[in-house]
Amino acid sequence: MTQKADAECDRRYAFGPFQMDVAERRLCRDGEELPLTRKAFDLLLALVEGAGRLRSREALIETLWPDTIVEEHSLTWNISTLRKALGDAGDTPRYIETVRGHGYRFIADVQAVEDAAAQQFAARPSAMPREETSLAEPSVEPVAAGEPGRHRARRRWIASVALLAVLALAGFLFLRSPASRSDGAAVRPHSIAVLPFDNMSPDPANAYFAGGIQEIILTRLAGIGDLRVLSRAATRRFESHPADVGKVAAQLGVDSVLVGSVQRIDDRVLINVQLVDGRNGAHLWAQSYPRTLQGVFEVETEVAENVVEALKATLLPSEAARVARAPTKDEHAYDDFLKAEFLAAQVWREKAQDPIATTAEARALYRRAIERDSRFALAWARLAYLDIHAYAYRVGIAPYRFDTAEQAVAKALELDPDLPQARLAQGYVLYYGRNDFEGALGAFQRARRGMPEDGEIDAAIANAQRHLGRWNESIASYERAAALDPHDSRWPMQLGDALASLRRYDDALRAYDRAQAADPGDHAATFYKSTALLYAGRPREALQVLDDVPADFDLGGAVVSIRFEAQRMLGDTKAAFATLEHAPEWVESAYLPAKVPVSLLQAQAWEMTGDLSRARAAYEAARAAIQPNLKNPAMPIFFSVLGLVEAGLGNRDAALAAGRHSLQRTPVDRGSGDGTTRLFSLALIEIRVGEPEAAVAHLRDLLSLPAGRVISAPLIETDPWYADVRAALRAGPVQ
| 243-285 confidence digits (pLDDT tens) | 888 888 888 888 899 999 999 888 888 888 999 998 888 888 8
How far apart (Å, rounded) are the C-alpha atoms in residues 417 and 408?
13
Predicted pLDDT of residue 138: 32
Predicted pLDDT of residue 313: 81
Give 574-607 pLDDT, tens digit per residue: 999 999 998 999 999 988 888 899 999 999 999 9
Residues 6+ positions from 709 with CB-CB distance below 8 Å: 497, 500, 501, 531, 535, 591
The mean pLDDT value for 512-517 works out to: 93
> Of 95-109, 154-168, 498-512, where does mean pLDDT reach its minimum?
154-168
Predicted pLDDT of residue 399: 53
DSSP class of residue 627? G
The mean pLDDT value for 213-224 works out to: 83
pLDDT of residue 155 exceeding 50: no
**Fold match between domain 332-515 and domain 632-730:** yes
Give 131-146 pLDDT, tens digit per residue: 333 454 333 233 333 3
The mean pLDDT value for 359-376 works out to: 95
pLDDT of residue 2 exceeding 70: no
Cα 689-691-692 angle, rounded to 5 deg: 120
Architecture of domain 3-130: Orthogonal Bundle (1.10)
Predicted pLDDT of residue 498: 96
Helix extents (H) in 451-523: 455-467, 471-484, 490-501, 505-518
DSSP class of residue 146? T
CATH of 632-730, one of 3.30.70.20, 3.40.50.2300, 1.25.40.10, 1.10.1380.10: 1.25.40.10
Give 625-646 pLDDT, tens digit per residue: 999 989 877 788 999 999 999 9
Architecture of domain 155-326: 3-Layer(aba) Sandwich (3.40)
Give 96-132 pLDDT, tens digit per residue: 988 877 888 999 999 887 643 444 434 333 333 333 3
Instruction: Say if residues 716 and 732 touch (Cβ distance below 8 Å).
Output: no
Confidence band, pLDDT 50/70/90 cuts, at residue 733:
low
Q: Coil, strand, or helix at residue 315?
A: strand
How far apart (Å, rounded) are the C-alpha atoms in residues 58 and 61?
5
Domain ranges in the chain?
3-130, 155-326, 332-515, 632-730
Predicted pLDDT of residue 631: 86
pLDDT of residue 324 exceeding 80: no
Q: Which helix (H) or strand (E) segment is 526 a member of?
A: helix 524-535
Give 264-273 pLDDT, tens digit per residue: 888 888 888 9
Per residue in 148-181, is it b (16+ CB within 10 Å) or e — as a string? eeeeeeebeebeebbebbeebbebbeebeeeeee
The pTM of this model reads: 0.69
Percent with pLDDT over 70 in the chain: 85
The class (CATH top level) of 332-515 is mainly alpha
The mean pLDDT value for 50-61 works out to: 87
Give 71-91 pLDDT, tens digit per residue: 565 677 678 778 878 888 656
Instruction: Say if residues 273 and 287 touch (Cβ distance below 8 Å).
Output: yes
Instruction: Say if residues 159 and 186 touch (Cβ distance below 8 Å).
Output: no
Give 397-425 pLDDT, tens digit per residue: 555 578 999 999 999 999 999 999 999 99
Q: What is the mean pLDDT of the chain?
A: 83
Give 665-715 pLDDT, tens digit per residue: 989 999 888 899 999 999 999 999 999 999 999 999 999 999 999 999 999
Instruction: Say if residues 603 and 622 touch (Cβ distance below 8 Å).
Output: yes
Map 172-190 to HEC letters.
Answer: HHHHHCHHHCCHHHHCCCC
Listed residue (318, 329, 326) closest to 223, CA to CA: 318
Listed residue (421, 425, 422, 462) closest to 441, CA to CA: 462
> Of 225-229, 355-359, 535-539, 594-598, where does mean pLDDT reach its minimum?
225-229
Predicted pLDDT of residue 515: 93
